[in-house]
Amino acid sequence: MSLSHGPLALVLPIVWLLSLPTVILMFKRLRRVPTLGSSLVRILLFALEVALTVLVLISCSHLGCAREKAWQVRCIHNLHKICSVVLVYAQDWDEHFPPRQKWMDAAKTHLPPEELSQVFTCPSAYSPFGYAFNSALGSLPWEQISDPTGTVMLFECDAAKPNIHGGLRNLPQIPRHSEGDNYGFTDGHTKWKRRIFANSLRWKP
């Protein structure tokens, strides 16, 4: 069984915490009996406690990785949903992308009210708004996009206010997801890319 799944990941820290007082008490009692047997028992107890500590640390590390992976998936889901509604907006407005200063307002008109409080926020971000619109696409006709599958439409950013737009320089200072960032492209698909490849993406139509 994986340490990052099931009850084992929850049980190990509890067992470790409960065992500490017992082991300490046994150590104190065994020290009063300086025999070879008591020394061996103390060594075994120490080895057992070290092994349990290592398992707890591994379990906690795996839980953190699993949580981060779940946040990355949620972020990708958010971007995919926003990309979809921006493209719906473009269809409604004669195949034109929304104005860059009002791209989020345009997207909101095609989202159900119950999703508005979460879809524009990345779970891994500390800022209230987690995504920005590619400024180069503001009010641009769809026909001017030469590479829809490769042109960035939405990307991660740290924003304190809505309708943030920009480009490569507006990416978060520190990548949020495994040394990389999530992107939404003008054909509607989303993808994670390592930060070192951000400059190679297509930012101009």
Q: pLDDT (tens digit, 9 = 90+) per residue, 138-179?
A: 999 999 999 999 999 999 999 999 999 999 999 999 999 989
As a whole number of angstroms, the distance between CA 150 and CA 143 comes to: 15
Look-up: residue for tokens 């992308």?
A: 97
**pLDDT tens-digit map of 76-91:** 999 999 999 999 999 9
- The count of C-alpha atoms lying within 13 angstroms of the C-alpha of 196, restricted to the half-sphere facing its C-beta, is 2
Terminal CA-to-CA distance of the chain, rounded, Å?
49
* Domain parsing of the chain, residue ranges: 8-65, 70-200
The whole-number pLDDT of residue 69 equals 79
As a whole number of angstroms, the distance between CA 81 and CA 69 comes to: 19
Model pTM score = 0.70
